[in-house]
Structure 1
């Protein structure tokens, strides 16, 4: 009906670009906002993020059930891009604004921060569970799914780059990192752009693939679709995302408190240089997904990219304030991580289809919600790891120059934890089987349903 693949690809990518105008502000700056602007200690920050995961466990699964039961004329997933757009942007602003309006009573600040952060997490779930679940409905062709994922991740990287590059500029323009309101003004600007992108996504995507079973899926039936390969997949992605998230959360602390200056640039300029190198590397990595999938397959190419990311992290152990080595290390880390972030969603679509064909039940919403919950749990642990390590190292937000012990613990978080997570991820990838079994199951299903 004149609905082009390019339009579908751009629409799909726009939704994740919108999310990445919001969530990178959370991963990169929420901890800084809590510790440096609100002056909360590591224990309080850890409580806010970890306790929130209890609520996440409920909202993610509930949203998965809602998606599987949805029968809007416009689709099962697309409508939530419109439903969640304004609440997502508004709750992001409230997360960085309302705690700043409270008096200096620490208990009240923690309580308000907990409430607003959970409000944001809930509306993020409203948008992103359907976004994760929609891919199998956009195309049944494996190559087109890879292209769709590439568009999604390239546009997501563009969103992350905008936040990482322009975030410090806007925050400084609105009063600096220690100003309680600079973060709210900044994310307010990003939030408006996110709303427009989600509307664009709704208008430019279509759910064309119908599930095997059209009946509404009950939660107990959806759980029956879970199998060993699905569990292996979400555990592997959980470990990988912990390493990814901890490194992302440690960027500001690493350059501000550990490196400080390099090559004649101060820490704010270094963060901007790092943002540019990271975003370009991730985009280039994501653009290679179709090529390496055809050349090596998803499993082998993912293992190879993990090995490259491991080498990149090792470079950071030895580079110190050497600008060329910092840039090289950034490129060697984030090129493969960009590839792997895109591959995660392509593999999720495959393991959902694999689970469907094995069980006869399409429960994309429930299966995607479990993956989404573990992803957000990983991005909760990143705060615990970073703040916990800095507390062990004696981090003091009021000091411009940190002790050598503090710097060592920042380095452990920025480099050590990602290295351990990558090694475990490589080992787990070796046990993936669904990539080989899926084509056989699809062929069998096609023969049985001629």
Structure 2
């Protein structure tokens, strides 16, 4: 990508505010990602069904092809993720370092998505080659580019943890909305019974979803903004060696915890997603009955919709980590309920409901925790490792998908799975053996009982959010010191962003006036009158925006005052002795926390000095 091309006004973000805007939330983080995420959700649930039931690739090498090719493909995918992370961290453009790749991914995801299903009617060997190439074009190339850049949008959007948390929620709503409404409701009820095992229908429907991803990904590109990246615009940044970044990320305890957590979570979720269709077709219901899968996914997933409004307030009150830990205990409990009676629809629905209540925090706030981890690494080392950290995150995502798919297909093949047949235009499914059904049941409900408990225990050690505010303040101090050392005048990022926002407004107004003048000359309108109408309209709009910001500020101040009043009232009801004990406990806790922070600060500054010295030595 040439920098000069991305400097064109055509490629500028439509978001200009220093604060997160409503259009950014709704268009950039909610609706924009829907296209690619929907396509990926469909693939995660139904691509393996297309391979086993439509193409009948279980016939190749006695089922070994569907075991080996996902594993081999994910090795390639892992490599491309590392390369992509390296490339993103070295991308320097006016549009940021991740957004340009989001733009490139839009047509690539659409084209490769179509190729996944347009497998030629040839012998099995030719089909196997096509499947392998198209699978890698989509997952190892196109979707890797999209997913890497998409997942960095939230961490790079702002350092404001409240706004960043809100964007994380919107981002996850997009994921849940697509998988919950289309994949869980519309697909099993209407699309799958229509598709059956008719290849031409699969190609038609999947091509439609692939094409839809293109304009929506462009929407995500134009309505996102990398405020964190923009803090260093115009500053000559050091080239950070790949191995140094890798060491910094892999030596950080918080990042290790989050990556291990994500590994466990992805293994459980992937096997569940792959097993869902088979479980509903053979264990709980009948083949493509259009009802069972819908009930399991939608009724069990109702909490995902309700929880949108509850999870972030709870996370702000009790902490992102604490809410997530409690959630995973419920997650394990719900899965255990399903496992105890896997053929009872009422019990399975109740268990899925409980499980998905527990899954709310990890679904909506994990990326906010991950962003806190990236800020922690920057504070500790002086290096921003977004691309490297995200490449490791994505390696786990793609590698476990391949491993889980291979394991599931190996278990199915080994247990004696029999694929359905198309007889006189009608799909006829075989009755599976008890061994096959047991494999499917464990994949869908059994494994997540174990992974839920494991994740709850692991996250107890994740305390990154406790001091993140202090660390972000230190980052600002380091940035200021570095600017002054270079002989530059320091300007707070918020002030700089405000000036840029005003400059953009002035530029936009100038362009509008030029265009208005031409329009008035062409249509015989009074330029001064039309201009005054515009000025009045803009003034009213800006006045309303200012009033809205002031109301939001007043609302937040009122909320804080009410909290203080409640605390005072609660304290007034205590006896002097009780109040004294409470204050003493608070003092001891504050001293303990401050002592821990000073110890962490001392270690962090020593580590930062070590890394910076190593970088300085490399540049000599």
Question: Same fold, TM exceeding 0.5?
Answer: yes
Structure 2 partner of 1:250: 275
Cα distance between partner residues in 1 of 2:203 and 2:87: 31
Alignment of 1:14-413 (within 5 A): 14-41=31-58, 42-98=63-119, 101-105=120-124, 107-121=125-139, 122-160=141-179, 161-168=181-188, 169-173=190-194, 175-176=195-196, 178-210=197-229, 215=237, 216-226=239-249, 227-260=252-285, 267-398=289-420, 399-413=429-443
CA deviation vs aligned residue, 1:196-238 (integer Å, no higher than 9, x gap): 2111111211212235686254423322431232122101111
Single out whichever of 312-321 and 80-89 deviates more from structure 2.
Answer: 312-321
1:58: Cα distance to partner? 1.2
Q: 3-state SS of the aligned residue for 1:424?
A: helix
1:447: Cα distance to partner? 4.9
1:449: Cα distance to partner? 5.4
1:287: Cα distance to partner? 3.8
Q: 3-state SS of the aligned residue for 2:370?
A: helix
CA deviation vs aligned residue, 1:292-324 (integer Å, no higher than 9, x gap): 211221211111111111111012123344333
Q: Is the counterpart of residue 420 in structure 1 residue 436 in structure 2?
A: no
Given that residues 71 and 403 in structure 2 are in contact (C-alpha distance below 8 angstroms), is that contact kept between their aligned partners in structure 1?
A: yes
Single out whichever of 233-242 and 70-79 deviates more from structure 2.
Answer: 70-79
Q: 3-state SS of the aligned residue for 1:74?
A: coil
1:196 and 1:449, CA in 2 relative to 1: closer, same or farther beyond 3 A?
closer
CA deviation vs aligned residue, 1:11-47 (integer Å, no higher than 9, x gap): 1233432222111111111111111111122421121
Gaps of 5+ in 1: none
Given that residues 193 and 288 in structure 2 are in contact (C-alpha distance below 8 angstroms), is that contact kept between their aligned partners in structure 1?
A: no
Single out whichever of 329-338 and 43-52 deviates more from structure 2.
Answer: 329-338
Q: 3-state SS of the aligned residue for 1:22?
A: helix
Given that residues 154 and 287 in structure 1 are in contact (C-alpha distance below 8 angstroms), is that contact kept between their aligned partners in structure 2?
A: no
Single out whichever of 64-73 and 159-168 deviates more from structure 2.
Answer: 159-168
**TM-score where L is the length of structure 1:** 0.91
Q: 3-state SS of the aligned residue for 2:64?
A: helix
1:151: Cα distance to partner? 0.5
Cα distance between partner residues in 2 of 1:97 and 1:115: 12
Q: 3-state SS of the aligned residue for 1:225?
A: helix
Cα distance between partner residues in 2 of 1:381 and 1:288: 35
1:425: Cα distance to partner? 1.4
Cα distance between partner residues in 1 of 2:323 and 2:91: 36
CA deviation vs aligned residue, 1:333-355 (integer Å, no higher than 9, x gap): 22332431332212211111111
Given that residues 101 and 145 in structure 2 are in contact (C-alpha distance below 8 angstroms), is that contact kept between their aligned partners in structure 1?
A: yes
Cα distance between partner residues in 2 of 1:435 and 1:184: 46
1:7 and 1:218, CA in 2 relative to 1: closer, same or farther beyond 3 A?
farther
Q: Which has the larger radius of gyration?
A: 2
1:362: Cα distance to partner? 0.6
Cα distance between partner residues in 2 of 1:120 and 1:312: 34
Structure 1 partner of 2:573: none
Count of residues in correspondence between the two structures: 442
Cα distance between partner residues in 2 of 1:251 and 1:74: 40
1:148 and 1:324, CA in 2 relative to 1: closer, same or farther beyond 3 A?
same
Gaps of 5+ in 2: 1-15, 421-428, 481-620
Cα distance between partner residues in 2 of 1:344 and 1:46: 31
